[in-house]
């Protein structure tokens, strides 16, 4: 039987550590505040944003909420970001994605002051990660590293295969695994002989957004399987990119969906908010 990697428990442990750190900062007169911007009312975004604000409340940091209508122009959004960039009392700025199609996400991400980029999406943050300099790291991949470390799973020297090459998960995930001295392969929709490639993995990270795509014939016996997917199946049931029931008997450890990677993203966002104090110039 595989070990179940409990993201809910690990994220709670991290949030409790952050609660302590927030209290220590407060005692020194430092109040941390996250500004959260949502444009439109995408139902999934509403849930994520609500949970992010609840997370701030739990660890004892402030949150400012900007819920803007769908028709907000790019210029209006950029003006708000400029205002928040200049505010001394705002440490982190998060613009929930996706944005409505009339707004260019890259332009918006680039407008955020890198010292407040708690999502780690700004090109400067990504570049810093690439060359091993201090900066914010994208929350989901950072959370996966924490999950592995706190579950006592060694990364150094391991064959890691990251399935998916998005800017938010796949690319930063591979850079973080490399930083931990793994041998890293990025596989994607154009990879030839995909099963042969994923079967090399000691640690397989699935971030493809395809419900239950990864069955046991993609997985080496005894591998660690990390499922980043949050999908709805044909019965509207929440499921990952991994076919859990099929894969669980052949792997050594696996993350469930829900309760695996998901809760770690918010924990690492809160971590970045606390870290913003020391990254401030």
**Chain residues in the site for ligand GUN (CB under 6 A):** 94-97, 119, 139, 265
What value, to the nearest 5°, has the Cα angle with vertex 42 and ends 39 and 48? 90
Backbone phi and psi for residue 194, each to the nearest 5 degrees, phi listed first:
-55, -45
Of 52, 116, 171, 220, the catalytic one is 52
Long-range CB contacts (within 8 A, 24+) of 43-46: 45/96, 45/97, 45/98
> How many other CB atoms are there within 10 angstroms of residue 88's CB atom?
6
Q: Is 52 a catalytic residue?
A: yes
93 or 177: whose CB is closer to ligand GUN?
93
At closest approach, how far in Å is the CB of 3 from ligand GUN?
26
Of 117, 119, 227, 243, the catalytic one is 119
Give the nearest residue (CB) to ligand GUN: 97
18 or 139: whose CB is closer to ligand GUN?
139
198 or 265: whose CB is closer to ligand GUN?
265
Q: Which two tokens stand for residue 279?
A: 């990254």
46 or 194: whose CB is closer to ligand GUN?
46
Q: Is 96 a catalytic residue?
A: yes
Hey, what's the torsion of the CAs at 264, 265, 271, 276, to 10 degrees?
Answer: 170
Put the strands of the sheet holding 203-206 in their side by side order.
3-4, 253-254, 224-227, 203-206, 159-163, 183-187
Of 96, 116, 227, 243, the catalytic one is 96
219 or 269: whose CB is closer to ligand GUN?
269
Q: Is 119 a catalytic residue?
A: yes
Report d(CA 10, CA 259) in Å as an integer: 10
Report d(CA 13, CA 17) in Å as an integer: 6
Q: Which two tokens stand for residue 239?
A: 């499921």
> How many other CB atoms are there within 10 angstroms of residue 98's CB atom?
12
Are the C-beta atoms of residues 194 and 218 closer than 8 Å to each other?
Answer: yes
Q: Which two tokens stand for residue 178?
A: 């490399």
At closest approach, how far in Å is the CB of 109 from ligand GUN?
9
At closest approach, how far in Å is the CB of 98 from ligand GUN?
7
At closest approach, how far in Å is the CB of 265 from ligand GUN?
6
At closest approach, how far in Å is the CB of 43 from ligand GUN?
13
What single DSSP character describes residue 218? G
The catalytic residue positions are 52, 96, 119
């Amino acid at each position: 039987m595989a070990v179940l990697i409990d993201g809910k428990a690990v994220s709670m442990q991290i949030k409790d550590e952050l609660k302590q750190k927030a209290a220590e900062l407060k005692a020194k007169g430092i109040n941390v505040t996250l500004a959260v911007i949502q444009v439109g009312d995408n139902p999934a975004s509403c849930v994520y944003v609500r949970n992010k604000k609840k997370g701030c409340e739990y660890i004892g940091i402030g949150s400012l909420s900007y819920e803007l209508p769908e028709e907000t122009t790019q210029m209006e959004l950029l003006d708000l970001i400029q205002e928040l960039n200049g505010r001394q009392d705002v440490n982190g700025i998060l613009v929930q994605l996706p944005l409505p199609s009339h707004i260019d996400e890259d332009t918006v991400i680039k407008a955020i002051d890198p010292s407040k980029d708690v999502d780690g999406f700004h090109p400067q943050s990504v570049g810093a990660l690439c060359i091993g300099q201090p900066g914010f790291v994208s929350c989901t991949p950072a959370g996966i590293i924490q999950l592995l470390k706190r579950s006592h799973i060694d990364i150094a020297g391991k064959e890691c295969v990251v399935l998916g090459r998005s800017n938010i998960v796949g690319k930063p995930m591979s850079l973080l695994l490399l930083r931990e001295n793994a041998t890293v392969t990025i596989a994607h929709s154009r990879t030839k002989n995909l099963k042969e490639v994923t079967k090399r993995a000691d640690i397989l990270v699935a971030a493809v957004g395809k419900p239950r795509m990864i069955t046991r014939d993609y997985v080496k016996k005894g591998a660690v399987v990390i499922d980043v997917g949050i999908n709805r199946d044909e019965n509207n049931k929440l499921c990952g990119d991994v076919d859990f029931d099929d894969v669980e008997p052949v792997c050594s450890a696996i993350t469930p969906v829900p309760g695996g990677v998901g809760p770690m993203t918010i924990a690492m966002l809160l971590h970045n908010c606390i870290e913003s104090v020391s990254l401030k110039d």
